[in-house]
Amino acid sequence: MNEKFAIAAFLSAFAVLFAGTSLAADEPADARSDERSSFVRGKVRVFYSLSGESAVPADDRDGNGTPDRVEDIALQVWAAREFYCGWLGYPDPFASARFGQVDCIEVGIHSRKKLGEKNGVAYRMPQKAKSVREGNPGDRALVLAVANTVDPVRNATPAHEWFHLIQYGATYFSNAWFLEGMARWSEAAWRQDGKPAAGLARPAEWEPDHPKTMELFGMRYDAAAAFWNPLAAAYEERVDSAASTKDLPDSLRALSYSDGSLVLRDPHLPGAALMREILAELAEVDDRAQQEIGYKEWSLANQGAPENNRFLFQAVREVLRKQGMVRD
């Protein structure tokens, strides 16, 4: 996987030189023409508007001049990286060979209209970073976009989009039942009602050609309830993971939004270790898939092609086999 990611990183850097700041082709066309303000928290840089279609709510409880919505979005993204990558050990996109050298996370807050009526978007390739006082001229950024209607106090979209960057950095597979389903599962830590239910059926009992499996391959967000959440629940039944959050540092446990509510609602994310192993397996399997399917490159179409499904599903089954959750 290192060789292909090195090539991807080279091509990405080459594209930046010639395409300036337009690498994210699906970024709102006028995203850089608005009068924008910025807010920086660590490596997270948020760009927002105070007027116009993309304006954020003006509420500012602490009176520091930065709207609460902006600070809360920055906080959730910052906390998502610290939680998933720093605490749970998921692969950090900052260290992914696919992305090459990156220095920051840019979060653009836009109207839903500018985002195609979506709550958020995670862009697949880094780009030249916008200028901020805290940055450097040569900085490169991972890029997210969040709708100005998203209130992170009640909505896990910023963390969901960060999790997509983890997926992008780990594997080229982007079939929706995996990409959106697993990301929706990952939201459990940020929501009051986040614990996975027993589920519709035990995914561990599904076979690759089972009708339910074929149905799964057509799912998107609903794959969380149908597959990933039950998988997490089945895993939790087999392991004693009660100790997994006992030493969670106060710097994460005590984080609170502008209204005083906790950022991490349930820091014990059911199935976290299992999903981490699945991502690691996929990082190896996509090499074999490319060779066996005959892809010349991982184009956007190839990343989400139906031909990937059997490799994705078998990779999950292999991890379950190693965990003793399915029979050979």
Domains annotated on the chain, with CATH: 1-170 (3.40.30), 172-328 (no CATH)
Q: Output the six-digit token pair for 302.
A: 């190839």
Q: How would you class 26 by CB atoms within 10 Å of its CB: exposed for 0-12, middle for 13-18, buried for 19 or more?
A: exposed
In this prediction, residue 210 carries a pLDDT of 78
In this prediction, residue 238 carries a pLDDT of 76
| CB 23, CB 12: distance < 8 Å | yes
pLDDT tens digits for the chain (328 residues)?
544 444 444 334 333 333 333 233 344 444 444 568 999 999 999 999 999 999 999 999 999 999 999 999 999 999 999 999 999 999 999 999 989 999 999 999 999 999 999 999 999 999 999 999 998 999 999 999 999 999 999 999 999 999 999 999 999 999 999 999 999 999 999 987 655 544 444 554 567 777 788 889 999 999 998 899 988 988 888 775 554 445 788 889 899 999 999 999 988 888 999 999 999 999 999 999 999 999 999 999 999 999 999 999 999 999 998 988 877 6
Q: Beta strands 44-48 and 37-41: pairing type?
A: antiparallel
| CB 50, CB 148: distance < 8 Å | no
H-helix or E-strand spanning residue 46 = strand 44-48
Q: Output the six-digit token pair for 161.
A: 């989009």
- Smallest Cα–Cα separation from 81: which of 174, 191, 165? 165
| CB 120, CB 145: distance < 8 Å | yes
The answer for 294, left when phi > 0, alpha when psi is -120 to 50, beta otherwise, is: left
In this prediction, residue 292 carries a pLDDT of 95
Q: Beta strands 44-48 and 104-110: pairing type?
A: parallel
- Looking up tokens 């895993």 gives 235
**What is the residue type of 183?**
A
In this prediction, residue 326 carries a pLDDT of 76
Measured CA to CA, the distance from residue 143 to residue 161 in angstroms comes to 10
Spatial CB neighbours of 320, under 8 Å, sequence gap ≥ 6: 204, 231, 326
H-helix or E-strand spanning residue 127 = strand 127-128
Measured CA to CA, the distance from residue 28 to residue 110 in angstroms comes to 8
Binning the chain into helix, strand and coil, the percentages to the nearest 5 are 45, 10, 45
